[in-house]
Amino acid sequence: MSWRSGSRGVVLTAYHPSGSGDGSDRPGGRRSGQYTMNHDHSKIPDGASFDRSGSQDSLDELSMDDYWKELENIHETRGNNHEERVALVVKEPDEGELEEEWLKEAGLSNLFGESSDDSLESVVFLSTLTRTQRAAVEKRVETVTQTMRKKNKHHQIPDVRDIFRLQNDSKGKVCDGNEPSTMRTSESKNEMQDGTKGPKFSLGTDEQKSPLEDMPSSDTDINLEISFSEQAANFKDTSVGKMCKGGGGDTLLPNFRVPKDKTGTTKIGDLAPQDMKKVYSLALIELTALYDILGTEFKQQKAVKIKTKDCGLFGVPLSVLLEQDQKKVPGTKIPLIFQKLIAQIEEATLETEGLLRIPGVATRIKSLCQELEAKFYEGTFNWENVKQHDAASLLKLFIRELPQPLLTVEYLKAFQDVQKLPTKKQQLQALNLLVLLLPEANRDTLKVLLEFLQRVIDHREKNKMTLKNVAMVMAPNLFTFHGFSSKTIEQSEFVMAAGTANVMRFMIQYQKLLWTIPKFIVNQVRKQNTESQKKEKKDKAMKKLLKKMAYDREKHEKQEKTPDDADVPQGVIRVQAPHLSKVSMAIQLTEELKAGDIVARFLSQKSGNVQTLKKEEVFLYEIGGNIGERCLDDYTYMKDLYQLNPNAEWVIKSKQS
């Protein structure tokens, strides 16, 4: 890839399909210590080199050799590639466009424009935001409002203060600008419409004490109960400097851990799609608030739509690949070629020295690439001809040749900017939110890649590929689309390289934590669902429909209710397992009862159907009440969760059903 800057945007050039992405068998190779970047041509001139000796002394230059070798291999390969090139234009937005797009992405487009009369729809959403999140929204709404006024838009332009005042008026309270926009969980009058007391939520403000706050915590504890941006604001205010500092010079990464949560840990994939949409909006607002607090610019890039290949393997959008793959293997979420290349690498042994670092022969890689394009889906490709280093080179080539980066055009710069955040804990928090923002296909593919890279690292005693080595080799492949700015200075390239390599290290090292949905976000989703249900009941326009729904529900309950269901004692839940022989069971809640205990109890009921199931294949689900659907981990304490969501139903099923 080459790139050049234009008057209205930055042009990145993607190549379809190329050679290996490796440096073997190439003419006129240069020393690994040299690096160049050419703005206007695909080839890197032999005369231009980058002397790294003048770069920051704090960075370990020798440790960067793998990075520069890999980057040089990539540019050499693309320089020798004469295939068709497609320009990817990254549009630089006009004034206010960025903020307007941000509000749309956050699901708040009805706060401005023609739909501003319907801003009441956002009251429920806004009522769950923390102070820092609300400040981030206010800032963007204000910018869009000012821009619209300048352009003399003929829309009703709401005052940003009115939007949030309206939200608080709905609770009989006018916002004075100092109170957090969340309803405090410590209030004793947390009641539902019918007068019954509802569950209490911790919505992530630093004022809301959680049970874990009373426990001793260390610098390596990651608190998922308090909003990250609230934590940053509090950290900034108190100026406590004991947290692990960021920077690229450290070799060892902290042993970050998440304290156990009695109501269970929520992973990506555990929630229903309708709740994941809410998670996306909240993660975007939270990430923006975090960057605002820390003084780091957060800008979503926007790629102008371009014509891409609609078939094939390399240089094909993930969505197109999955569409054609699902015709072969229904339900697949990872491109088949991606899965096969990883399997091919692992088929030999992960103990091979220099795995991922040593390239395959460029001429053979190019030939294999062309043959795969022609024969992969026909099933006639001979995988015996693919050596391990060839498969590794093809895997990296696949990642680089995606028309848009695996980390997406929108968020690639934000991933890069993680390195600018002050502490490693904040860097990890930002990465957690960024992973939540990735499209499902990108996120699933990234997960499989990171898991594979960890397996390579697990054999580091034999293959000599440590976390640092693997990060150095893979960073150029994931961040190939870097260089959105037109101010590229060779001196800063070294700093940027070290930064992306460190981001890569974080993603590999903390991948399990990165796929966790913070509890404060899950609680905000619960609060939204609860408030939406209350709002529906109060809405006069819905009265007729609600009456019919109540009638239908009552009729259904009379038809379906069993004698056991009719009178469930207090402290007992009824668990349904429609796919097992024991379809229903009353479970007495105790302090120590966990979700895994309930699943085990059902599976202990022997039958022909149950014998075919393994414990790791079925899960207990929390359905309804203040959540759409949530898969519970085995260590969820059921009594604590029941108190959080007393109106839920409990169902045992597999993730596929």
How many of the other CB atoms lie within 10 Å of CB of 46? Answer: 11
Nearest to 344 by CA among 267, 452, 248: 452
Note the pLDDT of residue 582.
74
Note the pLDDT of residue 69.
82
* Angle CA 538–542–544, to nearest 5: 115
Taking the C-alpha atoms of residue 411 and residue 433, their distance in angstroms, rounded to an integer, is 11
How many of the other CB atoms lie within 10 Å of CB of 587? Answer: 18
Note the pLDDT of residue 427.
94
- Flag residues of the chain having pLDDT under 70: 1-63, 75-95, 112-121, 152-219, 237-251, 303-306, 480-494, 537-549, 551-568, 606-614, 656-657
Note the pLDDT of residue 617.
80
Note the pLDDT of residue 307.
73
Nearest to 534 by CA among 109, 101, 190: 190
Nearest to 198 by CA among 189, 208, 207: 189
Note the pLDDT of residue 158.
57
Output DSSP code: residue 269. T
Note the pLDDT of residue 145.
81
Beta strand segments in 58-191, E: 85-91
Note the pLDDT of residue 322.
95
CB 406 within 8 Å of CB 445: yes
Note the pLDDT of residue 431.
97
- Per residue in 13-68, pLDDT (tens digit) is 444 444 444 444 433 333 333 333 333 333 333 333 333 333 333 334 446 778 88
Instruction: Spell out the residues 6+ positions from residue 317 whose beta carbon is closer than 8 angstroms to its own.
Output: 308, 309, 402, 403, 404
Q: Where are the alpha helices (DSSP H) in 85-159?
A: 97-105, 123-126, 131-150
- The b/e string for 219-242 (b: 16+ C-beta within 10 A; e otherwise) is eeebbbbbbbbbbbbbbeeeeeee
CB 653 within 8 Å of CB 579: yes
Burial-class residue 207 by CB neighbours within 10 Å (0-12, 13-18, 19+): middle
Nearest to 278 by CA among 643, 626, 631: 626
Tokens of 390: 């060839």
Nearest to 599 by CA among 546, 650, 558, 531: 650
CB 525 within 8 Å of CB 278: yes
